């Protein structure tokens, strides 16, 4: 269940003799024109969330209702993407939707992901959400970043200043 700004993921019970999970957690700061106007940055911060984390309307209903303006809610699929820990402790972004989405990283080309594809994810990377519905569809990473964008922040928790509404705007 989701509490104010806190995500939870179901965790299987460890079997006897299994070391406890590392407990790696991430935060996602939501920015863009699709967020509700006037919300403080702390209300646009999802987390801390344990990995793996699935993000979508099905999993963060309360957060999405509070944070995203109604006309933009459909930009986020019921299950849009997953952040998981891969080999050697690297974070991976896995696309779970047919809607366009990009990993935006400073100093790198923007990487578009199709459903089922994955890509390395690092602290500070942005996940830009597009839509292909209708004439208002956003099919470029620049447009998507301006509309709805998640910025990955690894724990410890960032200050409110670090999650400013412009956090996703830079390329």
pLDDT digits (tens, 9 = 90+) for 79-93: 999 999 998 889 999
Q: What CATH number has the domain spanning 25-163? A: 2.60.200.20
pLDDT digits (tens, 9 = 90+) for 29-60: 999 999 999 999 999 999 999 999 999 999 99
pLDDT digits (tens, 9 = 90+) for 116-138: 999 999 999 999 998 765 555 55
In the chain, where are the structural domains located? 25-163
The structure's pTM equals: 0.76
Which runs of E-coded beta strand occur in the chain? 25-31, 45-50, 53-55, 81-85, 91-95, 101-104, 111-113, 118-121, 126-129, 149-154
Least-confidence region, from 78-82, 110-114, 122-126, 166-170: 166-170
């Amino acid at each position: 269940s989701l509490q104010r700004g806190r995500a939870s993921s179901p965790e299987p019970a460890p079997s006897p003799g299994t070391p406890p999970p590392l407990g790696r957690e991430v935060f996602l700061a939501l920015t863009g024109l699709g967020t509700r106007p006037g919300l403080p940055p702390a209300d646009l911060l999802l987390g801390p969330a344990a990995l793996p984390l699935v993000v979508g309307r099905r999993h963060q209903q309360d957060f999405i209702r509070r944070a995203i303006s109604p006309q933009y809610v459909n930009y986020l699929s019921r299950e849009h993407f997953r952040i998981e820990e891969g080999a050697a402790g690297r974070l991976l972004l896995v696309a779970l939707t047919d809607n366009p989405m990009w990993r935006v990283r400073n100093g790198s080309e923007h990487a578009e992901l199709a459903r089922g594809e994955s890509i390395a994810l690092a602290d500070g990377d942005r996940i830009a959400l597009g839509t292909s519905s209708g004439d208002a569809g956003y099919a470029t990473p620049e447009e998507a970043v301006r509309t709805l964008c998640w910025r990955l922040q690894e724990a410890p928790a960032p200050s409110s200043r670090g999650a400013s509404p412009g956090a996703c705007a830079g390329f």
